[in-house]
Structure 1
Amino acid sequence: MDLKQLNAFVAVADLQSFSAAAKITGLSQPSLSRLLKQLETDMNVALIDRYHRPLQLTEAGLFFYDKVRALLIELDTITNMTKRMSAPSSALNIGFVPSVLYGLLPEIIADFKHSAHQGANEADIEVNLKDISSYQQIEALKTGEIDVGFGRFAHQDPWIQQILLRHERYVVALPKAHPLAQNEEQRLIDLANNRLILYHQTHLPVSTTAATIIKTPNGMDKDIDSTEPVTEPLLHLFAQHGITPLMTTKVSDLQVALGLVAAGEGITLVPASLKSMRTEQISYQPLIHENVTSPVYLHTLKDFIHPKIPDLLRSVYQVYEQRGITYRVQQFI
C-alpha cells in the first residue's frame, strides 16, 4: 500500500468515475485501474463495486474511504505546515468576516502597521486581507491561505488554537419609521412579530431547541409546540429566551440585510460596532438582554504561529484600550 494507490482510490471514490479520476490524477485509466486492483489485492478486500454506474463503494470501501481521506488531508496539512515552518513568509495573511471589517479591524491593521514601522522598514510589512467565513477560515489556516483569522464562532479542531477577544453586544436595526425606532429598551419578545432578516451563511455547531412563543398582533403571547433544533445564529438568540419570530427572510449577506431594513422590509440584529452604517434610514437601539452578544475570536494553527501574530494581538489590545473596551489579555501558545 502506498500514497499513489490511496490518492487514486480517493479520486475514484470522490468522482465515481475512472475516466474523471484519471484526468485529475494525471494517470491513464489502465494505470489507475491497476493501482486500485493492487490495493484491493494487498488488503484482500473489495473496495469498489464496479457493476454499478456511477461507480459505488462497497460497505468496506465506504469505511476505508472515510478514514483514508481524513489521513490524506492530515498528511497534506502536515506537509504544508512543515514548508511554512522552514521558510515563513514576511507577509501576514488575515482572514476576516465582514462584521469584523465594518467594526474595529481597520483600526487594528493601521496600529499594527504603524507599530511595525517604528522598528522595521515599512516595505518589509505586507498585510493581505481575505473576506472568508468563520468555518472556511479553519481549512484556509491548514492550507496556508491565511495565517490568522478573525471570526464569530468557536471551533473545536485539533489543528487550531483560538482565543476569545471579547463579547460584542447586539443592537436592533429598525427602519427609521418603525414604531419601536426610538425605544431605547428593546426586548426580544417585543420584536417577535416583525420580519427578522437573517444573514449568516454558516450555522452554529450546537443547537437550541426552541420553546416557541410569539406575540400576536393583539399583544397576547401565543405558544407554538416545536422541537426543531435551532442553529441559525440570530434565531438561536431568540430561542435561548424561549421566543421564535413569526416571520423570517434569509439573505446572502449583512449588507443586503441592512439594505432591506433601510427599505422598511424588516428588522435584524447586528453587532454594535456596525451601528454607524446607513444611519439616515436605520435606527439602532440597544437590547436590555446583556447576554445577547456576538463573540469575536482570533484563531491560528497550534503548531505554527506566524512571527507577526503576537504583534497583531498587541495591536488588538491597544485599540481596545483606546476605545475603552473590556477584555482579558490572552496569548497564543
Structure 2
Amino acid sequence: MAIALGLIAALLLLAGAGLGSEGWQPLWGADDAASRAILWDIRLPRAAGAWCAGGLLGLAGAIAQGLFRNPLADPYLLGSASGAALGVAGLLVLSGLSPMAAAGWAASWGLTGAAFAGALGAVLTTLALARGVQQTLRLLLAGVVVAMVFGALASLLMYEVPEILRSLQSFMLGTTSFIAAPAAVLMAGTLALGLALAVPASRTLDALALGESTARSLGTPVAGHRALLVAVMALATAAAVAQVGLVAFIGLVAPHVARGLARPTHRWLLPLAALVGGVLLLAADVAARWLLAPREVPVGILTAVLGGGYLLWLMNRRPGR
C-alpha cells in the first residue's frame, strides 16, 4: 500500500510540475534558462511542498485522533489554526502592509514567521491552561477555548482594520502558491523529524485505545509519550499552517482513508496517514490549478468540499460496506 501511495505521489508530482498558469505546459525538455527556472524554482518546490504539508497534517491528524480517542479530532484542536490567523493579522496591522506588499516578501518570510509564532503561541497557551498534557479532557477543552478566543481576536483586528482582509484572505482560504524551495525543505525535515519521534511512541496510542487505566496497567509510559506526541502534533501543524494557511479536512480525512486502506497499529498508521495526507493535498493542488485555468481555485476550498463530501459518505454508508 505504501508503494502504491508513493507511485501516486510521484505521478502527481510530475503533473504538478507540468501545470502552468495557462494549464498543461510541460517544460521538462526546455533548454532556456527561464523555463528551467520556472520548473525548478517554482513548480517543483510548490508540488513537493504541497505533498510535505499534506503529510504533516496527516501525521498530526492521526496523532490527534489517537490521543483524544476521537475519530473527529483534527490537528487544529489545540488552537493552532486560530493562533496562526491571529499572528498573520497582527503582523499586517503592526507593519501596515498593503495587499500588494503582502504578496511579495511578507508572503514568503514575514507572514510565514508570524503564522508559525501565532500557532506556537496558541499551543503553549493551551498547554498552560490545561496544566500540561496529563488530562486529555482538560487539554481538549483548553484547546477549544483558546481557538475561540484567538479566532475572536483575529476577527476583531479584521473588523478594526478592514484593509488587511484582502491580504489575509489567501491565508484563511489556504494556498500553496507561496511555497518556495526553502519552505519545502523545511517541511520535509519537520515531517522526517516528526515521524522519527512519533513512531517509537506510537504503542502508547494503541494502549490508550483500551482506556487510560488499562494503558497505565500495561506499563506504558503514558505521561512522557503523551507529552512527546503533543509536541510533535503541535510542531507538524504549525509548520504546515505557516506555509499553506488554513487547509481544511486533510488532517481529519487522511487517517480515515489510511484505516480504510488497511487496519494497522499506530506504528504503521502514522506514516500511512502522512502518505495519504501528502497525496490528498498534492492532488487538491493539481486540481485547483487545472480546473479553472488560468484562474486558480483556493486549495482550502477544494479540500473542504471534497473532504466534507467524503465524511458525509462515510457517515451514511451501510455497515459492512
TM-score, length of structure 2 as denominator length: 0.25
Q: Which of the pair has the greater relative contact order for Cα pairs under 8 Å at 6+ separation?
A: 2
**Greater gyration radius:** 1
Which structure shows the higher helix fraction? 2
